Structure 1
Amino acid sequence: MLPGPTHKNRKKTQLRNDLLKQLYYQGTLSLNELSSLVKKSLPLVTNTVNELLEEDYVVECGLAQSTGGRRPLTFMLNPEKPRYIVAVAIDQLVTRVVIYNLLNKAVSPVATWMLDLHMEQAHEKIAGFVKDYITNSGIPNNHLLGIGISMPGFINMEEGINHTFFKPIQGGIGEYLQQATRLTVFIDNDSSSIALAELKYGAAKGLKEVMVVNIGWGIGLGMIVNGQLFRGHSGLAGEFSHIPLSLTNNLCSCGKRGCLEVDASLLVVAEKAKSAMLRGEKSSLRELFEQENQLPGDQVLVAVKTGDPLAISLLAESTFMIGKGIATLIHIMNPERVVLSGRGATAGKILLAPVNQAINEFCIPRLAEYTHLHVSDLAHEAALLGAAALVMENCNLN
């Protein structure tokens, strides 16, 4: 039996990974900044960065801006280094795939497929899509660090199991896709992935206590506590959709009644719009819904951005209900910021007024005044970026 890695080698490998991750998330950093971030001595960090320079993992990036003294040399990851990440964002109706380089720049266009996760053999379809996409990219497997997958459902990250979808698969969806692609696969809940993206690249970066609300076909929640993603005791924290806030007694997809999702999801908004038009209300959605190239929920967002009164009114009703739920959560968590993210965030600042109205109506003023509401700039890309970050957080870069 060959001897395993020594403790010294493991520490060296860990330091290399930590330095590369800091550069991945931060962009450009000096040696002093890297030393501070990884909490290692400057000589040790300097020696390791020099090794990474020799391996073309890292390149010099000029001098930092002057702060009154000698300007330090900065470093960044080498965009020409042939190391890439496959990011897959799956929701209940759509699957998207892209390959990023070490600077999180797409090296091939995002591919999108309409796929209902409830259909039989959905796992085979996903595996086929991803395999074909990688093949068509022309990037060999040994240049790919792994596949990160963001998906809805109750997920056990360590075992790669989605307890909501793909349940009949022996070994779990993670192992199945790993065998199908011959690449290391990491999976996580979509709302957790979106919160991770906001923490690393978006509106939660540098903050300690943040709630990230994922507005989509359901209403998800990712929580950042003390600057870290909070998953709860069994990894299932954040089921915001299923807080019983509904004004109706409609049955939710979870099998319970009264869940927020039955009043506030984009799917429900689209169905309400269809019902309103059957009653004679005028809307540009009539023509939009006839187009088959986009889903009705996405067409609602298109109509909102073009000023359609019906779409705006229904989305405002939905986001008011979301705001009511957020008010409840503010009482529990007292966050510094609430970020509205995910697919629905493409509606932009029009989301702010009804959510703020609900917070002002249902939240204790002293708590509300310390919480700032923000619409994500990442929006629809957050799930893909979160899936990429999932690989970077867990893979070995050596």
Structure 2
Amino acid sequence: MNTNFLLSSDSNNRSELLKKKIIHYYIANGDATIADLGREMDLSVPTVTKLVTELQEDSYILDFGKQDTNGGRKPNIYGLNPASGYFVGVDMLKDKLNMAAIDFKGDKVQLEENVPYELKNTPASFDEFCRIIEDFIVSLPIERNKILAVGVNISGRVNPVSGYSYSIFYFDEKPLAQILEERLQAKVFIENDSRAMTYGEYMKGVVQGEKNILFINMAWGLGLGIIVDGNLYYGRSGFSGEFGHFCMFDNEVLCHCGKKGCLETEASGSAFHRILTERHREGSNTILAGKLDSGKEISLGDLLEAVRKEDVLCIEILEQMGFNLGKGIAGLMNLFNPELVILGGTLSLAGEYISLPIKSAIRKYSLNLVNQDTEIKISRLGERAGAIGACLLSRSKLLGMIRY
């Protein structure tokens, strides 16, 4: 199989660009005839036929035979060959990894969730990170050379063009993406986790044709993914979406960014944990008292389970957090006027316990006409959004479909 044109960055090779556009068309629209492609790409039938034939020879395109039509000559229909290549996605969370693999058409091949991993900004933690990814790749029912790219999600400030992460594993002068490529022996793209989750929902989740979207990633931290006119918005250096660091509160809580008053200090998983601990010390009751008293680690799963068991204190804290967050989202809506706001990340699994106070604050603080334009939905992919999004983004980046 010839993979050179996929890996090539030569923007002057017209034939290679057209081949990538054909694959992009099939990804976006599904199977089609040569006539359909010609009309969409404004190319002659002989030109499209030549390109599709070369893609068939390289095993990227399959001929599915004659298409059923009402009389007349039946055209052949073509589509992507799912086995022509595979993509791996890795979503890094505070205490676990979620990993996935998809085929060339974007269908899931394997998903491994909740792999234990303690994220620390140390070389040893990085070595363990690489080992877990390598073990996952080896476990796949796929030949190693069929893996065309690996996508790795990292929270915080990530420059996907330069390949540097400035939030974690910034030990070396070489870009993190390059170091990972050397360790994993595969093409690697790094990406901000919220943006990858946004792309996962856009391609395979709750999005139904909307082109202007905000994705709120509610986990230990607070992130934002932005899609404008169907394209991910990156900003100048890939640092867009730092929603959690809106300065919204006159408090003395130090955010992990080093500043005080950030939205994240009153509306995130870390805020939930801190406020619960403070309220318990002040005498409030909670079913998590035993863990708090013993100093045992409390996960987001523990906090959500307490909410589901109708722990009054946890529900009260979550509702206030939701209202705080909704106030911030209202500001985003007034600014972007989106068609859709998606509530995602681990805390979105709380369902209406968090979505109702968010919506209440949005109604109170957003402009009425803007509010009427925007639908609010819970993520369909849930905690799988990051790993699936990393897979899909690595495919799109390899094909040159992402505009930075």
What TM-score does the superposition give when structure 1 sets the normalisation length?
Answer: 0.85
Matched pairs, number: 392
Q: Quick one: distance in 2 between partners of 1:195 and 1:24?
A: 18
Deviation at residue 8 of structure 1 after TM alignment: 11
1:302 is aligned to 305
Q: Is 1:156 the counterpart of 2:159 in the alignment?
A: yes
Equivalent in 83, 86, 89 of residue 87 of structure 1: 89
Specify the code of the residue in structure 2 equivalent to 1:202: G
Instruction: Give the match's secondary structure for 1:340.
Output: strand
Distance 1:102 1:263, change over 3 A: same
Partners of 2:91 and 2:390 within 8 A in 1: yes
Equivalent position of 1:332 in the other structure: 335
Do the aligned partners of 2:34 and 2:77 also contact (CA within 8 Å) in 1?
yes
CA contact (8 A) 1:211 1:338 kept: yes
Question: Structure 2 residue aligned with 1:267, among 260, 263, 270?
Answer: 270
- In 1, Cα distance between the equivalents of 2:399 and 2:169? 28
Secondary structure at the aligned position of 1:264 is classed as coil
* Alignment partner, residue 12 of structure 1: 15
- For the 8 Å contact 2:200–2:392, the answer to whether it is kept is yes
Kept after mapping to 1: 8 A contact 2:90/2:99? yes
Matched, 1:144 2:147: yes
Gaps of 5+ in 1: none
Identify the residue that residue 77 of structure 1 maps to in structure 2: 80
Indicate how the Cα distance of structure 1 residues 67 and 229 shifts in structure 2: closer, same or farther if over 3 A, else same: farther
3-state SS in 2 of match to 1:390: helix
Distance 1:66 1:290 in 2: 71
Equivalent residue number for residue 104 of structure 1: 106
- Name the CA shift for 1:138/1:274 in 2 (closer, same or farther; >3 Å): same
Distance 1:36 1:244, change over 3 A: farther
Q: 1:150·1:386 contact (CA, 8 Å) conserved in 2?
A: no
Q: Tell me, in whole angstroms, the C-alpha distance in 1 between the residues paired with 2:200 and 2:77.
A: 24
Q: Between 166-175 and 133-142, report the one with greater CA deviation.
A: 133-142
1:1-398 equivalence runs, <5 A: 10-31=13-34, 34-35=37-38, 38=41, 40-59=43-62, 74-79=77-82, 81-110=83-112, 112-137=115-140, 139-204=142-207, 206-246=209-249, 248-277=251-280, 281-285=284-288, 296-305=299-308, 307-395=310-398
| Separation in structure 2 between the aligned mates of residue 289 and residue 19 of structure 1, nearest angstrom | 57
Go from structure 1 to structure 2 and tell me whether the alpha carbon gap of 1:242 and 1:146 turns closer, same or farther (over 3 Å shift).
same
Alpha-carbon offset, residue 187 of structure 1? 0.6
> Structure 1, residues 75-94: CA drift from partner, whole Å, max 9, x if none?
44233x25211111113333
**Gap change, CA 1:234 and 1:28, over 3 Å in 2:** same
TM-score (norm 2): 0.84
Report the AA paired with residue 159 of structure 2. N
Counterpart-to-counterpart distance in 2, 1:10 and 1:295: 54
**Contact kept? 2:24, 2:399, Cα under 8 Å:** no
Pair 211,9 (structure 1): closer, same or farther in 2 beyond 3 Å = closer
User: Mind listing any 5+ residue stretches in structure 2 that lack a counterpart?
Assistant: none
What CA deviation, in whole Å up to 9, does each residue of 1:195-230 have, x standing for no partner? 222332333453232211111111111111122111
CA distance in 2, matches of 1:62, 1:179: 42
In structure 2, the CA distance between the partners of 1:322 and 1:14, relative to structure 1 (3 Å rule), is: same
The Cα of 1:9 is off from its aligned counterpart by 9.1
SS at 1:369's partner residue?
helix
Q: 1:233 to 1:56 in 2, by over 3 A?
A: closer
118-127 vs 83-92, greater mean Cα deviation: 118-127
CA distance in 2, matches of 1:266, 1:10: 48
Contact in 2 for aligned 1:216/1:266 (Cα 8 Å)? yes
Secondary structure of 1:358 counterpart: helix
- Measured in 2, the distance between the counterparts of 1:314 and 1:343 equals 16
* Cα gap change, 1:274 to 1:144, in 2 (>3 Å): same
Kept in 2, the 8 Å contact 1:266–1:344? The answer is: yes
What letter matches 2:189 in structure 1?
F
User: How has the CA–CA distance of structure 1 residues 256 and 150 changed in structure 2, closer, same or farther, with 3 Å as cutoff?
Assistant: same
